[in-house]
Amino acid sequence: MNRPGQRKRGLATLLALTLGGAGLTVFAAPTAQAADDDVAKVPITSFSSMVVDSAHERIYISDDTRSLNTKSSVLVYTFQGQRVGTLTSSYGAVGGMALSADSSKLFVSEMGRIAAYDTETYAKTVHTATTYYGECGRQVAYAGGKVWHTETPTASQCDQYRSYLYGSALGAPHATGWEGTGKLYFATAPQAPGTLVMGQTLSTAGTDPYLTAFDSSGDTLVRGPQRRFADGEGVGGLDLKDLALSPDGSRVAVADAAYGTRLLDAGDLSDAPTPYRALPEGAKASAVAFSGDGEYIARGATAAGSVPDLLIQKADPEEGASAFEFAFEGDLDGARVAPRGLGWSKDGSRLFALTTNSTGTSYWLHVIQPPAAQYDARFTGALSTTPAAPVVGEPLGIRGRLELDGAAPAEPVKVSAVRRDADGDRKLAAVEVDTDGTFTVLDVPSLVGEATYTLSFLGDVTHRPAEDVTLQVTVAKAPTAIALTAPAEATKNQSLEITGTLTGQGRALPSGITLSVRRTDKKGTGTLTSAAVAADGTFRINDLPSVRGEVVYTVAYAGDGLHSASTASATVRVRPAA
């Protein structure tokens, strides 16, 4: 799998990392180690639900086949991605699933009923005989010690028909009176067992879907906060693909294909003070899941090519926006994260991602082990330059030191830099940090004047980004030099020749340069014919000195936009003619 690296706070230099496999790209800018990723091909052609059972280290994946005559199944996988079982429906297709709070029961929607599987023995009983066959598929949730499910009393146009929320006691369902056009999705949390969050999907009959929360702890389902998202003109309605409740029940994350990943306060469904950064350009939200310990959030998306489809980051956006970004782009890994295709182990040590191809007919299960902890990083000491006085067109080294907490990284850490001058910003090549933390960023300044260098460490799998440091320098013109070769003596009124060379640092000197030439003798100073400089920098001066004694020839270059001026003199003693 190809895996290039993380963007700095949403925008950064990408670094390719090889993690093994084919078709998966991971963005985790200069990385010290890679998240492990195991992939299993799932033998289904449609997808309904995925449930993670941490108590027994099992993952359950159900098909979404909608037919009375089709016997579909729930596939059982280990936390290592090995398929170890199949729960086959004896009557029609399976659909939505939910796990009891103690992980002892797996509730599965089947045609005409909600089945209950013992998660130790897989013995099956009928929990509820449903009102309808459920040919449109059901969503199932467990909250407040009860099973909840949706019903859509039709066999066609399922996504446009009204869905109804039912509570399931043993043997018989009861209508709650709550409903909505299109599908209804659920979210629950272990530390808030009485909270049931429900969201309505977008449809032609419901262009401003709602999001609401219920208290399911009592005998009666009590609705709490609710929210719609369209403005007064009906623009901006929710396009719900998935929703998740944080483990402590305080936040709701919503995968909104029209907006991105929304983060809401569960108490009133208002926007959280700090939102998540936008998904990469071209990516549309498809899934979302909080880790079981509440430390991380996974944000799934539908994106083409190398655009990231999965971001793993701190659940609290105020703790930083550095994210590990995965792009699924191969025939062996899927092309995007399936809607509602994310789940975590309770301890946060594993993320399970179900990916699908562009047509939604093939599926893959990814077992990803994200970082267990991240440490701080910082730039220490003052930045310095070599040479101390930068010159335009000449190599410049910017030296500094990066300090990393925690264990030493297994792979080289890199520092990136941006130069800002009168022409704007220019990104420089990232450089590796030595084992002692020192580094040297290389540049060749292209303009004379002030330039500011901003150095960044974008973070890696085990380290958070460091606070940027800046260095302002004054870039001078490149120096030039004139070397003259003249005879020590000459004869009055006889020809003498002086040769020379003009050299310059930095960029090549322009063509067509002429040098001014002055002659100073007892009678004063006069200007001679300018000397033309050849392509190799050489030139010649010819003169007929007319005054005896010392004669000083001064040659000068006026300089240009990138090169400084320079002068040189030669003294010739002129003797009388014989």
pLDDT tens track for 102-138 = 999 999 998 889 999 999 999 999 999 888 888 888 9
Average pLDDT taken over every residue of the chain: 88
| pLDDT, tens digit, 9 for 90 and up, residues 270-284 | 999 999 999 999 999
Rounded mean pLDDT, 180-189: 94
- CA torsion angle 170 156 139 282 (round to 10): 180
Q: Which CATH superfamily is domain 46-319+338-344 in?
A: YVTN repeat-like/Quinoprotein amine dehydrogenase (2.130.10.10)
| pLDDT, tens digit, 9 for 90 and up, residues 499-519 | 999 999 999 999 999 999 999
| pLDDT, tens digit, 9 for 90 and up, residues 202-253 | 988 778 999 999 999 998 999 999 999 998 888 889 999 999 999 999 999 9
Is it true that domain 480-575 has CATH number 2.60.40.730?
Answer: yes
Rounded mean pLDDT, 293-303: 93
385: confidence class by pLDDT, cuts 50, 70, 90:
very high
C-alpha pair distances (Å), 166 with each of 46, 131, 221, 334, 357: 25, 9, 10, 35, 33
pLDDT on residue 321? 56
- The tokens for 537 are 């920098």
Q: How far is CA 287 from the centre of its chain?
A: 17
* Structural contact between residues 547 and 507, judged by C-beta atoms closer than 8 angstroms: no
84-98, 195-209, 375-389: least confident range:
84-98
Is it true that domain 377-475 has CATH number 2.60.40.10?
Answer: yes
294: left (phi over 0), alpha (psi -120 to 50) or beta: left
- Answer whether 0.75 is exceeded by the pTM: no
The label of the residue with tokens 């199949």 reads: 86
pLDDT on residue 238? 95
Percent pLDDT > 90 in the chain is 70
Contacting residues for 149 by C-beta, under 8 A, at least 6 apart: 96, 109, 114, 128, 130, 138, 139, 140, 141, 165, 166, 168, 173
| pLDDT, tens digit, 9 for 90 and up, residues 50-96 | 999 999 999 999 988 766 666 678 999 999 999 999 998 877 678 89
| pLDDT, tens digit, 9 for 90 and up, residues 524-536 | 999 999 999 999 9
Question: Which has more confidence, 428 or 131?
Answer: 428
Domains of the chain, residue spans: 46-319+338-344, 377-475, 480-575
* Structural contact between residues 197 and 187, judged by C-beta atoms closer than 8 angstroms: yes
Residue 477: CA count within 13 A, CB half-sphere: 14
Domains 46-319+338-344 and 377-475 share a fold: no
Cα–Cα distance for residue pair 195/471, rounded to 1 Å: 52
pLDDT on residue 10? 26
